[in-house]
Amino acid sequence: MRRVVVTGLGLVTPVGIGKEAFWNSLLNGKSGIAKISKYDMTDYPVQIGAEVKGFEPANFIEAKDIPKTDLFAQYSLAASQLAIEDGAFEIDKVNRDRVGTLISTGIGGLQTIETNILTMHNKGHRRVSPYFIPMMIGNMASAMVAIRYGLRGPSSNIVTACATSNYAIGEAAEMIKRDDADVMLSGGVEASLIPLGIIGFANMRALSTRNDDPERASRPFDKDRDGFVMGEGGVVLILEELEHAKKRGANIYCEVLSVGYSTDAYHITAPDPDGWGAKTCMEIALRKAGLKTTDVDYINAHGTSTPLNDRIETKAIAEVFGDHTPNILVNSTKSMVGHLLGAAGAVEAAAVALSIKNDIVHPSINFFESEPDFKITIAKQATKKYLKYAISNSFGFGGHNCCVTFGRLNG
Amino acid sequence: MNDTEILEQMKSIVSAKLGVEASKVSMDSRFMEDLGADSLGLVDITMELEEKFGVSIPDEDLPKITTVGSAVNYVKSKMS
Tell me the β-bridge partners of A402: A261, A394
Is the residue at A253 inside a domain? no
How many percent of chain A have pLDDT more than 90? 99
A192: nearest Cα among A97, A285, A109: A109
Same domain, residue pair A156 and A213? yes
pLDDT class for B2, splitting at 50, 70, 90? confident
Q: Is B48 on the interface with A (CB under 8 A)?
A: no
Q: What is the pLDDT of residues A208-263, one digit of tens each?
A: 999 999 999 999 999 999 999 999 999 999 999 999 999 999 999 999 999 999 99
Contact at CB, A127 and B51, closer than 8 angstroms: yes
- pLDDT of amino acid A138: 98
Chain A hits for B16, CB-CB cut-off 8 Å, are 64
Please state whether beta strands A48-49 and A329-331 pair in parallel, antiparallel, or not at all (unpaired).
unpaired
Same domain, residue pair A202 and A272? no
Of B19, B44, B51, which is closest to A131 when you measure between CB atoms?
Answer: B44
Of B16, B40, B51, which is closest to A130 when you measure between CB atoms?
Answer: B40
From chain B residues 10-29, the ones with a CB under 8 A of any chain A CB are: 16-19
Active site residue: A162, A281, A402, A403, which one? Answer: A162
Specify whether the CB–CB gap between A79 and A163 falls below 8 A: no
Same domain, residue pair A20 and A146? yes
Is the residue at A345 inside a domain? yes
Q: Is B38 on the interface with A (CB under 8 A)?
A: no
Query: What ipTM, to 2 d.p.?
Result: 0.90
CA distance A189 to chain B (A): 25
Q: Where are the alpha helices (DSSP H) in B26-67?
A: 39-53
Is B3 in a helix, a strand, or coil?
A: helix
Q: What is the pLDDT of residues A261-304, one digit of tens each?
A: 999 999 999 999 999 999 999 999 999 999 999 999 999 999 99
Domain that residue B19 falls in = 3-79
Contact at CB, B47 and A126, closer than 8 angstroms: yes
Contact at CB, B40 and A131, closer than 8 angstroms: yes
Active site residue: A244, A254, A281, A302, which one? Answer: A302
| Spatial distance between the Cα atoms of A334 and A14, rounded to a whole number of angstroms | 11
CA distance A261 to chain B (A): 40
Domain that residue A291 falls in = 258-397
CATH number of the domain enclosing A375: 3.40.47.10
Contact at CB, B16 and A64, closer than 8 angstroms: yes
Identify whether A162 is a catalytic site residue: yes
- pLDDT of amino acid A407: 98
Is the residue at A199 inside a domain? yes
Q: What is the pLDDT of residues A30-74, one digit of tens each?
A: 999 999 999 999 999 999 999 999 999 999 999 999 999 999 999
CATH number of the domain enclosing B24: 1.10.1200.10
Contact at CB, B50 and A126, closer than 8 angstroms: yes
A237: nearest Cα among A7, A3, A4, A19: A7
In Å, what is the CA distance from A293 to each residue of A285, A286, A302, A344, A389? 11, 7, 18, 24, 10
Q: Give burial (CB, 10 Å; 0-12/13-18/19+) of A297.
A: buried
HEC assignment per residue over A382-393: CEECCCCEEEEE
| Spatial distance between the Cα atoms of A68 and B17, rounded to a whole number of angstroms | 9
Same domain, residue pair A199 and A265? no
CA distance A64 to chain B (A): 5
Count CB pairs under 8 A between chains A and B.
Answer: 20
List active site positions of B. Answer: 38
Please count the structural domains in chain A: 2
Among candidate residues A223, A247, A271, the one where a domain is terminated: A247
Q: A411 pLDDT exceeds 70?
A: no
Active site residue: A339, A362, A402, A403, which one? Answer: A339
In this structure, how many other beta carbons lie within 10 angstroms of the beta carbon of residue A247?
Answer: 9
Identify whether A267 is a catalytic site residue: no
- pLDDT of amino acid B3: 86
Same domain, residue pair A55 and A139? yes
Same domain, residue pair A215 and A280? no
- pLDDT of amino acid B1: 82
Neighbouring residues of A257: CB distance < 8 A, sequence distance ≥ 6: A288, A289, A291, A389, A405, A406, A407
The pTM (predicted TM-score) of the whole model is 0.97
Residue of A62, A64, A140 to mutate, interface with B, max B Cβ within 10 Å: A64
Is A131 in a helix, a strand, or coil?
A: coil
Same domain, residue pair A219 and A90? yes
Q: Which residues of A fall below an 8 Å CB-CB distance to B?
A: 62-65, 126-127, 129-131, 134
Is the residue at A277 inside a domain? yes
A5: nearest Cα among A363, A309, A349: A349
pLDDT class for A96, splitting at 50, 70, 90? very high
